Chains A and B, each alone.
Chain A
Amino acid sequence: MRDGSVVYLEGVSKIYPTAAGEIFAARDVTIDVQPGEFYSLLGSSGSGKTTTLRLIGGFEIPEYGRVWIGGEEVTEQPPYRRNVHTVFQSYALFPHLTVAENIAYPLRIAKTNRAEVAERVEESLRMFQLKGMGDRRPSQLSGGQQQRVALARALISRPKVLLLDEPLSALDAKIREEVRQELRDLQKQTNLTFIYVTHDQEEALALSDRIAVMHNGQVQQIGTPKQIYDRPTSLFVAQFIGKANFLKGTVLEANGETAAVEVSGTKIWAASPGRSPTIGDAVTLMVRPERLCLSETAKTAKADNQLSGKVASVTYVGQLVELKVETPIGLLTVTQLSSTADLSPEQSLSWNANECILLPD
């Protein structure tokens, strides 16, 4: 086990047999989650994020690898012997029980005495703004209220870790953002460890301390939202998170973690964090649209890369404008804050090497 981790998966694989052979729902997944962390598993459907969550919850037993929770190996333990609780995507509230009975369920199972159950349920109803709704059935509540009941029920017996499986996906777009903030506040207040499954990158970037990006059952990259966005380590992560310009080229010069790359006959300086590229390698460069600077005259201040460009199209997105700029190395997308001034079509484009990430093909 890894010391200090509240949840540690060590090389975990989950295999499903199908008619066409074995399918790895999760392949060699290793993650360590620190106490008090808001940790997201981000990926599209079929990426293995939900399988990974179910392996932690105990709903699946991995074929390979081991699972630790709170320093204790629980790889083959059933869900009821694990000190983690789950908030299900469908909330999974018991329809035949009232809101108060739903919230009290884990305490009743643990044979907590009646007075304490009543007291803690009352406190929980107050905390989740469900006061006066204790006697209702889940079906009589709105989606947002049902979600708060699910949270209250999962938290009442004070687990070490809360697992959340796309908890916001069933809510209206309008209240989703509101609930998102509430979730973050709740996690900070309680100082609990949250492991959060989502396919929504914006959600993951806004909420998480760390994100594990998953694809095809494998972890692609683990890092803070800033690391994932600014320093993707693979083409997949760069394409999956946010928007970006991708440029194909060949390495001309390598100088530690900086490199010069030839793209359509132009030399572009780029950063290669964590590894030194080899001269002659085919690579892809990634640069975010908002990191490209437009100016009407060539900048006197030194930028590592400078190109002349011609504005081909302008799209207003309210606060931002998105421009397509024709350059010697191809059509680049640039975003900047919108302004009332008209743009002249002739522009100079510049950016620094560390805004431009070199990714191996």
Chain B
Amino acid sequence: MTNAPSSTEKRHTQQQPWLLTLWTILVYAFLYLPIATLIFISFNDSAILSLPFKGFTINWYEMAFGDRSLRLSLWNSLQVAAMATLLATGFGLLAAFAIYRYQFFGKTSFRIALNLPILLPGVVTGVAMLAYFSSLGLELSLWTVILGHAVFGLPVALGPILTRLSQFPRSLEEAAYDLGAKPAQVFRGVIFPYIRSAIVSGALLAFTLSFDEVVVTIFLTGRDNTLPMEIWGRLRTDITPEIAAVATLVLIASTGIVLLSQWVVGRDEG
């Protein structure tokens, strides 16, 4: 006895979706061709920021690494992003706990208010904070930029933490109390390990957003430039492929961080 069907002619039941394939290719091309062009130009042996391709060089990368003001602005950006991420994640964690744990008057409004900074246009947030800081008499500096970034970083960090917390089985917490753990021990030993991946992923997202933010930064920056501001400033005066090289490096770093955050979440929840 064999398992072969008695009819020998096999019918093709899978349609070939060539139209869908073509459409998919077009969508991806639309999304990623500009980025591909940028990477291409950063290796182009030509002094202007355009095609055609005249030859391969890593000259622009060498220039970028040797550029003191670029290095300084990169350092500023890293500091700003780190501080803003710390503030955003810390307050995001507290807010997530308040929403998860307590019923209070105006809870829905509270949640909307927290999310407003990412819904509002950056210009509005920027102007509003500028007006607020100047009415307080605060001088613009990297600190005002940090506060600005923390404001829109908070909802970004809050999102994944709250999602993860809402999946936290209350019985785990009760079991820990039941077995003798005090509130601080319950948080450290049971709740925190459960939401750790969400905290890391939220923080990494907040970091990347802060790292390449321009609009809010324009309003809040003082003498010191962040990296995106430096790039923006140069584009208006001397446009060289050195900018393309810097942009490519930023792209690689951002993509790496996003992939890292996805990996962290996937590892714990998978």
Contact = CB atoms under 8 A, between A and B. Distances in A.
B181 to A, nearest CB: 5
A66 to B, nearest CB: 20
B180 A109 contact: yes
Given A94-B172, A94-B190, 5 more contacts: A57-B174, A58-B177, A89-B171, A94-B189, A105-B189
Contact of B175 (A58, A84, A86, A110): A86
A90 B169 contact: yes
A96 B269 CA distance: 11
Contacts of B178: 57-59, 79-80, 84-86, 154
B174 A153 contact: no
Interface centre among B174, B179, B180 (most CB of A within 10 A): B179
B174 A96 contact: no
Interface size class of B (residues with CB under 8 A): 10 to 19
Contacts of A94: 172, 175-176, 189-190, 193
Contacts of A88: 171, 174-175
B172 A157 contact: no
A154 B179 contact: yes
Interface centre among B169, B176, B182, B185 (most CB of A within 10 A): B176
Contact of A90 (B171, B177, B189): B171
Contact of B179 (A58, A59, A90, A157): A157
B12 to A, nearest CB: 41
A79 B259 CA distance: 42
Contacts of B177: 58-59, 78-80
B179 A85 contact: yes
14 contacts: A57-B178, A58-B177, A59-B177, A59-B178, A84-B178, A88-B171, A88-B174, A88-B175, A92-B171, A92-B174, A109-B181, A154-B178, A154-B179, A157-B180
A80 B194 CA distance: 21
Interface in A92-149: 92-96, 105-106, 109-110
A109 B171 contact: no
Contacts of B176: 94, 105
Interface in B161-177: 169, 171-172, 174-177
Interface string B182-202: 100100011001100000000
Contacts of A79: 174, 177-178
B267 to A, nearest CB: 12
Given A59-B174, A88-B171, A88-B174, A96 B180 contact: no
Contact of A110 (B172, B180, B189, B194): B180
B268 to A, nearest CB: 8
Interface in A240-273: none
A175 to B, nearest CB: 22
Contacts, number: 62
A88 B179 CA distance: 12
Given A94-B190, A96-B194, A80 B171 contact: no
Contact of B180 (A57, A89, A90, A106): A106
A96 B193 contact: yes
Contacts of A106: 179-180
Contacts of A105: 176, 179, 181, 189
A153 B178 CA distance: 11
Interface centre among B175, B190, B193, B194 (most CB of A within 10 A): B175
Contacts of A96: 193-194
Nearest to B181: A109
A58 B172 CA distance: 15
A157 B176 CA distance: 13
Q: Please list the 9 inter-chain residue pairs (A to B) with the smallest Cβ-Cβ separation, ordered nearest first.
A: A92-B175, A92-B171, A79-B177, A106-B179, A96-B193, A109-B180, A86-B178, A79-B178, A80-B180
A95 B268 CA distance: 10
B188 to A, nearest CB: 11
A109 B185 contact: yes
Contacts of B185: 109
A346 to B, nearest CB: 59
B70 to A, nearest CB: 43
Contacts of A109: 179-181, 185, 189
Contacts of B175: 86, 88, 92-94
Nearest to B177: A79
Given A96-B193, A96-B194, A80 B172 contact: no
A247 to B, nearest CB: 46
A92 B172 contact: yes
Nearest to A88: B171
Contacts of A110: 180
A84 to B, nearest CB: 8
A90 B170 CA distance: 11
Interface string A58-72: 110000000000000
Contacts of A57: 174, 178
A110 B181 CA distance: 8
Nearest to A57: B178
A90 B168 CA distance: 13
A42 to B, nearest CB: 22
A96 B267 CA distance: 12
